[in-house]
A and B are shown apart, each in its own frame.
Chain A
Amino acid sequence: MILFGQQLLNGVLIGAIYALIAVGFTLIFGILRVVNFAHGELYMLGAFVAYTLIGKMGMPYLLAAPVAAVVVALLAVPLLTATVGFLREQDETATVLATIGLSMVLQQCALLTWGGDPVMIPTPFGETVTLGPLYTTGQRLLTLAVAVALIAGLTWFIRSTNLGRGIRAVAQDADAAALVGVSPSRIHVVTHALAGGLAASAGALIGPVLAIHSAMGELAIFKAFVVVILGGLGSVPGAIAGGFALGVVESLGAGFIAGDYKDAFGYVVLIAILLLRPAGLFGKVAA
């Protein structure tokens, strides 16, 4: 029973990161109807920018992580505008290919800048924390707390602010939104920044837990895919639920069935959900 509780906790903690990556990924899809293959690289950049701010500029971790998120959010705007923004209306295939190209360029830039060796972000919260019979680290608890706070903040922003209402309006119908005075191009810029910032936050939070390297975004994008399809393409609540579900399923599967099929458990659940709900947990079937 203790092992079950431990694996559940492990799953929730890693699920928070999956959710954080997937929320930005699904936002881009929901607003721009584009699968952004470079999203994993924004996550990777968040980790490396935080690593550089701490290692080269002596910034404390608690400051470096949000600064890294802001830097990558600002960087995401021109990068995604130049690829997704310009090509989206012309050709969907070209847009997807452009994001694949962008992911390759960013990965190679990271390789040139930070080298090929994996590194870890130093953290003051690396000590083991016990929760009764369960244990984790301060960094993992911080990751969960920040991920939940960011997701809650994003949900409030989308639901309660004018800009958030604009995002929802453009997601539903960009032309109709434009007719009532919402600028889709402005919404796109905000969406790019939000997606970049969320992905980078995930990278900066996970960097002290997992080793970071230039190819780490590739794995993240596969996980994000599973999560958003599980939750329903374009659905923010779906991405949150899907992220936590995938983390828990993988952890329990690896803990109680077989570790080498860890990734397969996620896909089995995905297939099962799609058979029951073809549009995912929170997705709506097109009329």
Chain B
Amino acid sequence: MSETRRRLLLVTLIASLALLARAEAAGPLKIGIIAPQTGNLATDGNAYLGAAQAVIEAKNAAGGIQGRKIEVIAYDEKGQVNEAVNAARRLLTEDRVAVVLSGSTSGNFLATMPLLNQYRTPALAIATSPKVTEGGNRYVFRIAQLIPDRVRDNVQLAKELRAKTVGFLQVNDETQRVYVKSVKELVEKEGIKVLFEEWFQYGDSDFSAYLSKLRQAAPDIVYLGGEVTQCATILRQAKETGVKAALVLPTSVVGENLLKAAGAGADGVYGQTIWVPSALTTPEARTFEALMKQKGLPSSYYSVIGYTEAQIALAALAKAGDDPEKLRDAVAASSIPSPLGPIRFDKNGHGNAVGRVFQVRGGLWNLVK
């Protein structure tokens, strides 16, 4: 080896060590995740969390971001608003994460938003309430489909099914209140009457009292709410009670979990969503499916959003590092390919995922339109 080559090798080695040392000194890039890991919403929360962790693990396995590892700090908010606020406070004040991913319901996420604004920390959420991005909080982004889009698709379904009357059997939370109000306004404009409206709580597990009333009211189509366990129970009990109406599930439960939980009870049910695995076959969707299968995670609405939001966070961290303002701008300008198509945010932080209506036939979700 010549002297020049030896020197060049030595300089390269020293430069590499210096870079490595700088990366080590800078420490890991921190991503905080708040999701319900226990309680009634655990299935959805763990799907969101697991998928986000899987993307980040893969990134770490590939060397991290510019030599820096990504550290995930996840807290269980148990589906409770006070736990969600405590988790956000810990992430922002003690752990000092660069970005927050939230698999919380709208009500719980809305309670954490003032903290995110105060600590100028970008957050990507699954919450769908309009208030999430109408509040002028420039650090909050979400890719879940907005309520007006769901409403439009579901009212269109009522028209296509030639429904004259509708009903609502809904869970009492912020998102579903807004959803029901919007559907009612739109169906009444179409001359469709609202015959039935009942509200239950997260945690309710027996729906026989509501379904007895529903059977008597006999609307043509019923818009359901609740988490996957509740919807599976409602579907089974509706069949047992002899409810004849077409049933439309909330977007958040449309997926493989529901089919597994409800079994034959799900046959004929409708649902509008941005994600049904069997119906979307882009390379990004296949990569997502393969990773979920490898990790033993469900391919669901929650997991695909957890996966995509983590991808966006990683791309923004790679572009801007952990400086809050630069990171916020990088998220806002994001346009990475994802299983849901290329996601772009509007000026309020809404993502542009497109929904479709599906129906369960023969134990599988099939595209209706």
Contact = CB atoms under 8 A, between A and B. Distances in A.
B209 A254 contact: yes
Interface residues of A, number: 38
Given A255-B213, A259-B200, A117 B298 contact: yes
19 contacts: A3-B212, A111-B38, A111-B42, A116-B42, A117-B260, A117-B298, A120-B261, A122-B263, A126-B236, A128-B242, A136-B240, A214-B42, A215-B40, A218-B39, A259-B198, A259-B210, A260-B200, A260-B201, A263-B203
Interface of A: 3, 6-7, 10-11, 13-14, 107, 111, 116-120, 122, 126, 128, 135-137, 209-211, 213-216, 218-219, 250-251, 254-255, 258-260, 262-263
B212 A117 contact: no
Nearest to B206: A14
Contact of A260 (B38, B172, B208, B237): B172
Contacts of A215: 38-40, 42
Given A118-B232, A120-B263, 14 more contacts: A3-B212, A10-B212, A107-B38, A117-B260, A126-B236, A209-B206, A211-B229, A215-B38, A258-B199, A260-B199, A260-B200, A260-B201, A262-B204, A262-B209
B82 interface: no
A3 B213 contact: yes
Contacts, number: 106
Interface in B253-273: 257, 260-263, 265
Interface in B236-252: 236-237, 240-242
Contacts of B261: 117-120, 211
Contacts of B198: 254, 259-260
Contacts of B16: none
Contact of B209 (A216, A218, A251): A251
A218 B78 CA distance: 12
B203 to A, nearest CB: 6
Interface residues of B, number: 38
Contacts of B42: 111, 116, 213-215
B160 to A, nearest CB: 29
A260 B198 CA distance: 7
B209 A259 contact: yes
A41 to B, nearest CB: 13
Contact of A135 (B43, B233, B241): B241
Contacts of B91: none
B241 A128 contact: yes
A250 B228 CA distance: 23
Given A119-B261, A126-B240, A262-B200, A216 B205 contact: yes
